[in-house]
Structures are given as structure tokens and as C-alpha cells.
Structure 1
Amino acid sequence: MFGAERTRTLLGPADPARNAAVGPPLVSARELIDRADATETVAGRRRVRPSRRLVLTAGTLAVAAGAVAVLQPFGGGAPDTPGEPPAAAGLVLVPVAYQFDADPPAAGPQLRLLADKIKDAAYDHQSGRYMYHHTKVWGDPVMTSADGRHHVAFASETKIWRAADGTGNQVMTQLEPQYPDQESRDYWQRESMGRPAATGTPAPKVIPLSPEELRPPSADPSELRERLKVEYGAGAVSKWVSTLYGQYVVPRATRAAVLRVLADVPGFRWRGQVTDRAGRNGVAVTFDDREHDQQSLLVFDPRTGELLAHELLTLSPVRISSYQVILHAAWTNQPG
């Protein structure tokens, strides 16, 4: 179970959109299949041409159905090196390697140590009207084969400039298709054989943001526990930490408080040093939700305590379900 339905199951009564009516997708399943599978031969190699994808709520990873607005990349650029074709059928995602893979210790003591020693981030010395975020997301929506075994989704990159009243601009670019395993890649490549090739490169989509009530994050522990939905457990907390960092430029005192709140949530395990999907060094915690066959992964900057990435994995078999990488956060006076 991938995407919004997985999130609904995980959040239960904490889901803010549990009673919302779900509208039809922006594109049909058939059209999405055609776009994902359409290929083009370039310099003797078969090239997948990505197209548009659904727009989801900014800062979320697996967004509850019924929410509005944004999603998001690592690497900071287009998927192709100019003049060179990409991989034949897109990237196969590999789980992040953990320092402590087997029998990881409880995360609480290490999270408290991290909270005590974090330093200022670059944006702690900035000011501006707009909160800027540059992110990359994969995993919602996911297209699944009829037998439920093979999956594919487009990665997407988003840059957002958002003022305190919620207004601003969002620029979203669809990137390459990505797969949770080699079998899925092989399946969709076979499905694409003989289909007409797509043409052109998707242009970035510019979306003005409507006014929205935003409540800046507090460093007060009781307020943070409420905001991060601690009462619903570590799985819900992981999602709301990702949402917090995807929507706000989080100050140092609040970053430390978030780590201390996480330290008191049962179930988080310390995974030690990791390298995220943008190639950055981080430290990680995970929570295994055996009931839903799911693992939540949070990667933090070991110097500043900023959230670098949030991922969801299935546990049996172990493979990526979705990810969000936060490439950059800042304050600025110039909206994109």
C-alpha cells in the first residue's frame, strides 16, 4: 500500500483530511501509464521522457488525500547532463545504508546529545519576507501494475517562496521516473516497448500560492508535542516533523526542542551516521511500524540539527516507498 492510502491508515484519527472528499486525479491512470512508459531513442539508447505529475502539499512526503498544493529534488538541477541522455529507464532506488543496521540502540540518548550541541544554521543569520524551500520528492502518486507487484513514480522538484500570510510562488518541475526495485524497472521498460515516443521536455510549472494561516513553530515542548501528533505514535510524528521542516524555516531553539521531543517518543532507534540521497552526511533515526509493514526514516544534519530527509520504506521486502529530501531552506526578500 503506497501513497495517500498508506498515510491515512498510519495517521488514523490524526489525519486532517480524513473526512475530505477526494477529487479525481489531474490525469487519468491510462495517461499516466502512457507518459511513464513512452520512450525515445537518443544516441542509440532508449530515453524515458518524464511528463507532468500531480501537485501535492508542500513539505509532505506521503500527503493525505484532500490536502492542497505542493511537492519537491536533490542535486539542485535538471535530471540530465546537457548533451547526455539519462539512464535507459530511470533510477532504481536503493535504501540508505545505516551505520547500525542490526540491533540499533534506542534513539533517545543520542537525540538528546545532538540537541545539546547543535549550532546555528546559515538561515539563523538571515532575514526576509519569504521562507524559501528547495526540495525533491518521490513516491506519491505511485503507479502500480495490475498484479500489485511493480511500481513507478516520477520524482519532482519544487522551489517555494512563502510569506507569513501563506502567499508566494511555487515552481515545480517533474523529473525522471524512479523505481523501488530492479524488477519494477524491468517491468515498465517491457511495457513501454512499441508505444509511441513522448516528445519535448516538461517545463517548470509556476503556481501562485493563496493566503493561508501559518503558525510559526514554537520551542515550547508541550506545543511541539501537540503539533507533531505525539499521541498517535512515532509513525505520525515522523510525518509531521517532515511537514514542519518542509513548510517553515525552523530556528535553532525549535530544532533542539524537536530533537528532545523525538527522544521521548517510544520506538525510535538510532541508526548512526548515514549519507542521504543528496550525498550529504547525516545522522538517522528510524521507527518500524510492523502493523503496517513500514519503516519511517528521519535524517538530520549532525551540526545544525536540521532535517535533511524523510523516507518511508516497506519492511517485507525492504524497498523505498517514498522520500523527501530538503535541499535548502532560507529567508529571502525576493520571491521566485
Structure 2
Amino acid sequence: MTDHLDDDRRDLDLLRAANPVSATSGPWRDRPLNAVAERGLNQLLHTTRVRARRRVVFWAEAAAVALAAVLALTVPGLGAGSATAAPSALHPRAGSAALPLDRIADRAEALARDGGPRLREGGHVQSWSLAMDSGPDAERPVTLPEEREVRWRSDGSRTERVESDGKLVGERVYPPSRSDAPPWARPPGTPAALRDYLTEVHEPGFPRRTAPVTTQQLLDTLPQLLDNWTLGARERAALARVLAGTGGLRAEGTVTDRLGRTGQAYVHDTPDEHLRYMLILDPDSGEVLGLEVLFTRDQPDFAVRAGDVMSYDAWRR
């Protein structure tokens, strides 16, 4: 019981830290969370999932036969492209050529003019995320691997399959539903329209927003876009042009991603939050292969060390 109360107190502390408005603020209504608050809530969700996972393991040890039967359930094709469950930070190859983002955008636009793949509903992503506790007694974070595939049907219904460590965690069918709000609305294929789309993903209610979306905010919206849509040639070209025009991303050279694919690395640092984003693009098509976020400074409250990978997403067609 004491352990559960301690867990609940930590959860309340995380919720307070994630609250974008203090208790002493004046009148306010619902508003989008800022980047720090979003990460706080994600951390809370991941921490809860770790605790639930530990309890499931405990119960499963008392029913080994049932566990073996459950773990035998796998989904063909979803387990391909295996990677380490506790990844270290990626590093571009020393001395490799660093392509400017403008050149990637030019190549992507040339491919789009010649045709190329079309936009497709649904996404397929492998991810690795830190599940962190907080406080003076926090343990070193645990890295949770997950693979998620969403497939849409013509009637608007969709199937979502989730795997962890190559084993089926869940499969769920959602009834037909449509939304005209990003990121569920169809993404546009021109840079200006796509930038507006991504701005609304980050802050619903656009175009009331007057300030342009920042580089960090743009990178934070990519998982929402790419988890819901597999971009076609036109949309990839538009996104590459948006990224090239945003600034704040420096070319770092060639890198091999966690699925063994070769890409170009583009890095963005956030000094105030001590985070480093590494965006990995296919050098020929502009397709987003992966996005890594790591800590650049120790965070003792979360038992995090500089160089720890907070999250990594690898998207597949």
C-alpha cells in the first residue's frame, strides 16, 4: 500500500510540473501545453506504463503456462528490422559529406514531379522511449521498445496493432470516424499549406496564432503527422522544403539509423531544456527515417545522464 501511495504522490508531482498555468494565475481556459508540459505528461504516461508492466510480469509469473501462450502470439512482418531495446545515441560518420537541407528538398521536389509514391492513411513506427521516475530515490530510467502499425479502411475504420519486444501487446479495431482537424485531416502537398497544418497540430486554433512555429515545435509535431500518415512524394517534398526554410537545423553528415538505413543527420539543440534533436532523412527522397531526442546534461531528479536517449522514432513504409 505504501508503495502505491508513493507512486500516486510522484504522479501528482508530475502533473503539477506539467500544468502550464500556475494555481495563482488569473482566469484561464483550456489551452495547448507547452513543450515542457507535453514532455512531463508523456513522462507520466510512460512511468505509469512501466509500473503496470511490472505488475503484469508479477502476475504472469504466477501463471507461466498462460504467459507462454500469450507470448506465442506474433504478427508476421511487424517484427522485421530488429534493433537494440536500450539504444545509445547515434553518431554521424566522421568525415562524411553533410548535405544542405535545400539540396534534399530539391531532390524531393524533382522526384515528386516524376510521380513517386502517393499519400497513404496510417503509419508504421518503431519507437524507444525512456520511462522515468522522479525524486531523490529515482531509479535509472527503463527504455521501452514499441512497434505500432495503424491501417485504415475505406469506410473510415482502422486497425491498430502494438508490439513490444517482438510480441503482440494488443490489437484493436476502431469504428469509422473522420476528422477535419490536423493531424487526422489529409496533409497538404505544398510547403506553405503544410507549415500551417503543422502549426495547427502544435497549437489547435490556428490561424489565431501569430508567431511562426519554431524549429523545436516543428520537430515535436512530426510524430503526430507520421504516426497517422505515410507521406507520398509531394508531401515529402513539401515537408523537406518546410524544414529547409525553418532554420536551426545543422547538417551533420551520414548516419546509419536504428533499422540499418543510411540517411543524412540534421541536429537542433535546445540550450534552455538541454535537449538535442537529430532528424534523419533519406538523402534522395527526403523521406523522414527517424527522430532522436537525447539529454545533453545530467538530470538528477530523473536519474538521467547526459547522452541518454529520451526517445527515438523510426518510421517505415
Aligned pair 1:212/2:188, yes or no? no
**Correspondence for 1:236:** 217
Shift in alpha-carbon separation, 1:6–1:98, aligned structure 2, 3 A: farther
C-alpha distance after superposition, 1:22-47 (max 9, x if no partner): 8x96967644345579999xxxxxxx
1:223 offset after TM fit, Å?
1.7
**Correspondence for 1:32:** 53
1:305 offset after TM fit, Å?
1.1
1:217 offset after TM fit, Å?
1.4
**Which gives a bigger RCO, structure 1 or 2 (Cα 8 Å, sep 6+)?**
1
Q: Distance in 1 between matches of 2:78 and 2:253?
A: 26
Q: Distance in 1 between matches of 2:49 and 2:15?
A: 17
SS at match of 1:278: coil
Q: Give the counterpart letter for 1:219 in structure 2.
A: G
1:208 offset after TM fit, Å?
1.3
**Correspondence for 2:251:** 270
TM-score by length of 2: 0.63
Q: Distance in 1 between matches of 2:19 and 2:193?
A: 23
- % of aligned pairs identical? 22
Q: Distance in 1 between matches of 2:288 and 2:282?
A: 6
**Correspondence for 1:283:** 264
Write the mapping of 1:137-152 to structure 2, written as runs, cut at 5 A: 137-139=127-129, 142-144=131-133, 147-148=137-138, 150-152=140-142
1:139 offset after TM fit, Å?
0.9
Write the mapping of 1:123-162 to structure 2, written as runs, cut at 5 A: 124-125=116-117, 131-139=121-129, 142-144=131-133, 147-148=137-138, 150-162=140-152
Q: Flag structure 1 segments of 5+ consecutive residues without an equivalent.
A: 41-48, 53-74, 81-85, 177-201, 329-336
**Correspondence for 1:297:** 278
**Correspondence for 1:97:** 91
Moved more, 258-267 or 317-326: 258-267
8 Å contact 1:144–1:152 — kept in the other structure? no
What CA RMSD, in Å, does the superposition of the two structures yield over aligned residues?
Answer: 4.4
**Correspondence for 1:311:** 292
Q: Give the counterpart letter for 2:129 in structure 1.
A: G
Select the structure of larger CA radius of gyration.
2
Q: Give the counterpart letter for 1:138 in structure 2.
A: W
Shift in alpha-carbon separation, 1:174–1:131, aligned structure 2, 3 A: same
**Correspondence for 1:222:** 192
Structure with greater helix percent:
2
TM-score by length of 1: 0.60
SS at match of 1:271: strand
**Correspondence for 1:258:** 239
**Correspondence for 2:206:** none
Number of aligned positions between the proteins: 249
Q: Distance in 1 between matches of 2:232 and 2:226?
A: 10
Write the mapping of 1:4-43 to structure 2, written as runs, cut at 5 A: 15=33, 30-34=51-55
